[in-house]
Chains A and B, each alone.
Chain A
Amino acid sequence: KAGVTQTPRYLIKTRGQQVTLSCSPISGHRSVSWYQQTPGQGLQFLFEYFSETQRNKGNFPGRFSGRQFSNSRSEMNVSTLELGDSALYLCASSRIDRTDTQYFGPGTRLTVL
């Protein structure tokens, strides 16, 4: 069974730009969560989607948004990029009856210059 895939793997953007990251969950997994990982803060929860609806949201500004499609694929968008947004963005998927066991993709490394 294929794992979680994320595209692109690397991105370089400049301050003020916006970016869209994509995630395809494991087949059959309908819950998708996004996390930001930085050396200083570690892994922090951004949001979770199930059935195209945002079900949980972490403590991030409104510049961070996401959506989920009917095939469970998900995208996250960051608008008006700041230097502090440089991070590894990780997507995780889980079965809806087992949201405790989440499987992560390789991540998208975003660098904001």
Chain B
Amino acid sequence: QKEVEQDPGPLSVPEGAIVSLNCTYSNSAFQYFMWYRQYSRKGPELLMYTYSSGNKEDGRFTAQVDKSSKYISLFIRDSQPSDSATYLCAIGKGGSQGNLIFGKGTKLSVKP
């Protein structure tokens, strides 16, 4: 079983839709959860990070973590064409374990 599973999509939605992106992970030792956005031919950009179960909101983005189910989500409200990118979830143990484990990424396309 892979440490992080993410549906690769692609996912195509109309402008203004609510987007839901999800990942599951297998090891409860992971304590830190991140979402990155990667535009074509660019490096990943950190969007959201959280350490605890529950929701964290930042503008149109909400990150949700359910540690009991080992399930993390990113919701994008009022999606825009500029949100079209690949979204990667990442998990980490933190501390001296500086390596992150990434999902394969979900390619999102928001159509005007």
Pair from one complex: yes
- Tell me if A's interface is mostly helix, strand, loop or mixed: strand
Cross-interface CB contact of B98 among A4, A94, A107, A109, cutoff 8 Å: A94
Q: In this assembly, does A90 line the interface, its C-beta being within 8 Å of a C-beta of chain B?
A: yes
B10 to chain A, nearest CB (A): 13
- Picked from A55, A102, A105, A109, the residue with its CB within 8 Å of the CB of B100 is A102
Does any Cβ of A come within 8 Å of B45's Cβ?
Answer: yes
Nearest neighbor of A102 in chain B, beta-carbon distance: B100
Stretch of A12-20, A43-51, A70-78 at the chain-chain interface: A43-51
- The answer to whether B99 touches A103, judged by C-beta atoms less than 8 angstroms apart, is no
Tell whether A65 is near chain B: CB-to-CB under 8 Å.
no
Number of interface residues of B (CB under 8 A): 26
Alpha-carbon separation in the docked complex, A109 to B42 (Å): 10
Q: Using an 8 Å CB-CB cutoff, how does the interface string of A21-51 with B read, 1 for contact, 0 for none? A: 0000000000101010000001111001010
Report yes or no: A31 in contact with B98, Cβ–Cβ below 8 A. yes
Which of A42, A50, A56, A90 touches B43 (beta carbons < 8 Å)?
A90
Cross-interface CB contact of A101 among B41, B43, B49, cutoff 8 Å: B49
Please, which residue of chain A has its CB at the minimum distance from the CB of B36? A104
A99 at the interface (CB under 8 A from B): yes
Shortest C-beta distance, B70 to chain A (Å), equals 17
- Are the CB atoms of B99 and A106 closer together than 8 Å? no
Minimum CB–CB distance for A46 against chain B, Å:
9
Q: Which residues of A contact B44 (CB under 8 A)?
A: 43, 90, 104
Contact B43 A55 (CB under 8 A): no
Chain B contact residues, CB within 8 Å of chain A: 32, 34, 36, 41-46, 49, 51, 88, 90, 92, 94-105
Chain A residues with CB under 8 Å of chain B are: 4, 31, 33, 35, 42-45, 48, 50, 55-56, 58, 90, 92, 94, 99-107, 109
